[in-house]
Amino acid sequence: MARVSVRDIADMKARGEKVPMITVYDYTSAQLADSAGIPMVLVGDSLGMVVLGYDSTIPVTMDDMLHHAKAVARGAKRCMIVVDLPFMSYQLDDQQALANAARRVQEGGAHSVKLEGGERSAHTVARIVETGIPVMGHIGLTPQSVHRLGGYRVQGRQRQEAEQLIKDAHALEEAGAFALVLEVVPSPLAGLITRHLTIPTIGIGAGVSAAATSKFCTTCWGCTQTSGQSTSNDSLI
């Protein structure tokens, strides 16, 4: 069976289908997701909290991500593999961002990368897309900015915050992102953003209004999940 591509994801959105995604960190979980017919898997920097026991995603390194991405690539034969760019692996300049995105594809077996930030990251998204690497955007609660945000809290409840998130979403779509993660934003706002974009939105703790929902493999397999992870905090919405 052919590998799922960004075109397949766009076609699912056009047909009004949900585009489920699951976050996985290892060979076995990738195999399970593949056999379940999940179209996209994310190798998230959340592995820092879920697998490595850190209290945030900030300590996660490029080598950490590549190690887990390679394991997932060996297990997922049909899923599209999205791999996170970790903290400070793309923020310095274009050269750094392009080099690290390329490592995800060449060494890690990724088919696309995900990075955090809205308008401030749009230029970086555009440059990576120009090289031929698909990019998934990520706005709302951006865990790499947890210290600036003051903790793992709902984003977009205030009018000014909501308006900025809408601007961020449009900026990322215009930059060429093929999909957009909305993490821990109010469900009505997630629905509004989803209706105004042509690319699929993927909700993480954002209610049911996004075009799809992402879950951790540890949640789906019934394992205990590290406290503080936003995917377990739908009650915040």
Domain ranges of the chain: 6-222
pLDDT digits (tens, 9 = 90+) for 118-156: 999 999 999 999 999 999 999 999 999 999 999 999 999
pLDDT above 60 (res 229)? no
Res 213: pLDDT:
63
Residue 178, phi then psi, degrees to nearest 5: -90, -15
pTM assigned to the model:
0.91
Q: Is CATH 3.20.20.60 the classification given to domain 6-222?
A: yes
For the chain, the C-alpha Rg in angstroms (whole number) is 16
Res. 218: pLDDT tops 60: no
Residues 156-169 pLDDT 10s = 999 999 999 999 99
Average pLDDT over the chain reads 91
Q: Under a CB-based contact definition with an 8 Å cutoff, are residues 200 and 6 in contact?
A: no
Choosing from 17, 107, 116, 183, the catalytic residue is: 183
User: Could you confirm whether 183 is annotated as catalytic?
Assistant: yes
Give the confidence band of 13 by pLDDT, cuts at 50, 70, 90: very high
**Which pLDDT belongs to residue 51?**
95
